[in-house]
């Protein structure tokens, strides 16, 4: 079994803050249609900051096998052990017992949120739980302004992934971000109840960015519901390997006290969760990037292959009849990529 995994594994070196960590992009067997969790585990493994945080926790003997952060920690550590035949089996069994059903189709964004939420909820160390949250948390503020009295209703919120709608036709990551932060008018049946006017009034609605996290997850919403029927959108969404935080200029507000747009801040892409198939039947895989040598690996359950940026770009919209499209994009703030 060790020889099998040695053939499937590829050595990568990434930098987590100032600490270099060796890890392996290695194949993960598919148990009970676990491709969604397998792909997400590849991204969690590549997020070396997450294991750094989990390693600050010293679980007591009272923590049992149904504890999600414990099983996630064990899985990420075991994925770095070439001799371990099934590093994620305990984690999968933990999820199957309390959160997801076996042999069922899963949505990667929903499972991503579920894992992070359970990791916080079941983490007895409050400081570690907060660090996990802070690693991924996107802070926003919803502003609804009454068109009659101009009073602004503000609602603070936080997200683990940025949900970007896709327009039919050609899209870019920046155009999707601009649409997310675009002001909308609420009229007719969409009128908003104004506390000051004490009645429903025409209003404007917009989301403003408060802060960005060290790890930014972008959710490309490729599934659309029309009259009770869900379909997948295969339209092109071009995304870059790196971008400056100025791409979020449309989401800035002087009133949120935001300081997230600094000229020297950039993000680099290090993981792409890919959905293959239709809205009714699908399969998940992952592209993982080495921050040291800028090389890509493609993980399809137990199979791992070398890849290129051109391969990743083919997931913009599916390629030559392929239904493989990028679904989740994970970017790391570049200040975390260097060893300085």
Residue 183 belongs to domain spanning: 2-336
pLDDT at 263: 60
pLDDT-derived band at 261 (thresholds 50, 70, 90) equals: low
pLDDT reading at 256 higher than 70 = no
Among the ranges given (107-116, 234-243, 329-338), the one the predictor scored with the smallest mean pLDDT = 329-338
Q: How far apart are the first and last CA of the chain?
A: 39
pLDDT at 228: 80
Percent of the chain with pLDDT over 70: 86
pLDDT at 340: 38
Strand-strand pairing, 19-25 and 192-194: unpaired
pLDDT reading at 302 higher than 50 = yes
**Number of folded domains in the chain?**
1
pLDDT at 249: 87
Counting every residue written for the chain, the total comes to: 340
Q: Minimal CA–CA distance to 95: which of 126, 74, 124, 79?
A: 74
When pLDDT is averaged across residues 10-31 and rounded to a whole number, the result is 57
Q: How far apart are CA 73 and CA 55, in angstroms?
A: 8
DSSP letter at 279 equals S
pLDDT at 82: 81
Percent of the chain with pLDDT over 90: 71
pLDDT at 281: 86
When pLDDT is averaged across residues 13-34 and rounded to a whole number, the result is 65
3-state SS assignment for residue 71: helix
Give the residue, 7 or 173, on which the prediction is more confident.
173
Give the residue, 262 or 46, on which the prediction is more confident.
46
Q: How far apart are CA 88 and CA 114, in angstroms?
A: 17
Q: How far is CA 110 from the centre of its chain?
A: 10
Give the residue, 278 or 322, on which the prediction is more confident.
278
Task: Tell me which H or E stretch contains 231.
Answer: strand 229-232
pLDDT at 293: 63
3-state SS assignment for residue 333: strand
When pLDDT is averaged across residues 191-198 and rounded to a whole number, the result is 93
Q: How far apart are CA 328 and CA 217, in angstroms?
A: 7
pLDDT at 259: 52
pLDDT at 142: 94
When pLDDT is averaged across residues 213-227 and rounded to a whole number, the result is 94
CATH value at residue 287: 3.90.70.10
Instruction: Work out the angle at residue 89's Cα, subtended by the Cα atoms of residues 124 and 269, and round it to the nearest 5 degrees.
Output: 75
């Amino acid at each position: 079994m060790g020889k099998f995994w040695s053939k499937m594994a590829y050595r990568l070196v990434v930098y987590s803050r100032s600490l270099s960590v060796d890890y392996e992009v290695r194949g993960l067997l598919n148990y009970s249609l676990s491709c969604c969790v397998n792909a997400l585990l590849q991204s969690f493994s590549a997020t070396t900051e997450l294991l750094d945080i989990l390693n600050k926790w010293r679980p007591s003997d009272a923590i049992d096998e149904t504890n999600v952060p414990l099983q996630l920690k064990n899985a990420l550590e075991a994925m770095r052990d070439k001799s371990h035949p099934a590093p994620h089996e305990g984690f999968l069994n933990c999820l199957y017992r309390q959160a997801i059903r076996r042999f069922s189709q899963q949505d990667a964004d929903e499972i991503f949120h579920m894992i992070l939420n359970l990791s916080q909820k079941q983490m007895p160390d409050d400081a570690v739980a907060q660090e996990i949250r802070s690693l991924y948390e996107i802070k926003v503020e919803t502003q609804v302004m009454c068109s009659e009295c101009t009073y602004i209703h503000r609602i603070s919120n936080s997200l683990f992934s940025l949900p970007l709608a896709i327009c039919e036709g050609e899209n870019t990551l920046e155009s999707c971000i601009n649409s997310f932060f675009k002001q909308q008018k609420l009229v007719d049946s969409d009128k908003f109840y104004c506390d000051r006017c004490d009645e429903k009034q025409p209003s404007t609605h917009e989301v403003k960015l408060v802060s960005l996290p060290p790890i930014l997850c972008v959710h490309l919403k490729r599934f659309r519901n029309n009259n009770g029927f869900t379909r997948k959108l295969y339209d092109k969404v071009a995304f870059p390997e790196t971008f400056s935080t100025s791409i979020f200029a449309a989401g800035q507000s002087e009133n949120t006290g935001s300081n997230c747009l600094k000229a020297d801040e950039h993000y680099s892409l290090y993981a792409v969760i890919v959905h293959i198939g239709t809205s009714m039947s699908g399969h998940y895989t992952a592209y993982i990037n080495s921050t040291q040598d800028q090389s890509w690996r493609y993980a399809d359950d137990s199979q791992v292959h070398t890849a290129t940026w051109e391969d990743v770009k083919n997931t913009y919209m599916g390629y030559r009849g392929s239904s493989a499209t990028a679904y989740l994009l994970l970017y790391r703030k570049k200040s975390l990529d260097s060893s300085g």
